[in-house]
Amino acid sequence: MKKQDLPKTIPVFPLSNFIIFPHTTVPLNIFEPRYIEMINDSMKTNKMIGLIQPKNNDDSSIPGLHKVGCLGKITNFKDTSDGRYMIDLNGITRFEVTKEIKSSKPYRICETTYDNFELDLTSEKKKLKLSDLEPIFKDLKLLFEKKGYIINWKSLEKQDLNETINALAMASPFSLEEKQILLESKNLEARKDKISEILSTYSFDDFHNTTIQ
């Protein structure tokens, strides 16, 4: 997709505890009436919605939003017998909210810019090799195992590096704030370094001194 094809205004889905990254696909279960309407409207137009984090420390009835979210395209859609929608959303590019627009719609609509995220639209071929990720993989595996997460590492290692880093960032047991920082990292290299930095703050002392061969 080219930058000029991206929508200037988008319906936004403020979803707590959930972040989508470019080049990843996630399933969503839509059941609130306002978001059912948002999906209906989106399906009639460009099939795009923005996923963004509400600010958790905001007690107002309309919570503030983080500045950066991710634009997604609905790639799969089905409605269930009890009126819910099951969709797959494919992350296209990050966006920055420039302003929120007043609207008669029950969901929120924002004006956006993509200027800082043009690399998301290219398949960013960085001089990053899988071997650069090995130290991260080792610590991430420990962290995932500690938290009881099961990851198919072999299939991950076959993926495009960009997809691998984004998938790990999204699935990781990091805090929401840490994931938001990863989302806002300028490029793949910066995201890799940030994952490494976050991992260094976690304690691996309670792994019963397991060594990884």
Structural domain that includes position 13: 3-119
Where among 70, 95, 119 does a domain terminate?
A: 119
Digit-by-digit pLDDT tens for the chain (213 residues) are 788 889 999 999 998 878 899 988 999 999 999 999 999 999 999 999 999 999 876 666 788 999 999 999 999 999 999 999 999 999 999 999 999 999 999 999 999 999 999 888 876 555 666 677 777 778 888 888 888 877 777 776 677 777 788 888 888 888 888 999 999 998 888 888 898 888 888 765 544 444 443
157 token code pair: 């290692």
| Cβ-Cβ contacts under 8 Å for 173 (sequence gap 6 or more) | 143, 144, 147, 149
Domain count, the chain: 2
Give the integer Cα–Cα distance in Å for 66 and 56.
Answer: 10
Same domain, yes or no: 60 and 165: no
Same domain, yes or no: 94 and 26: yes
Picking from 115, 124, 72, the residue whose alpha carbon sits closest to that of residue 93 is 72
Residue 96 lies in a domain: yes
Indicate whether this model's pTM tops 0.85: no
Same domain, yes or no: 32 and 52: yes
What is residue 4's DSSP assignment?
A: G
Same domain, yes or no: 84 and 14: yes
Give the integer Cα–Cα distance in Å for 15 and 50.
Answer: 10
Residue 209 lies in a domain: no
Same domain, yes or no: 74 and 162: no
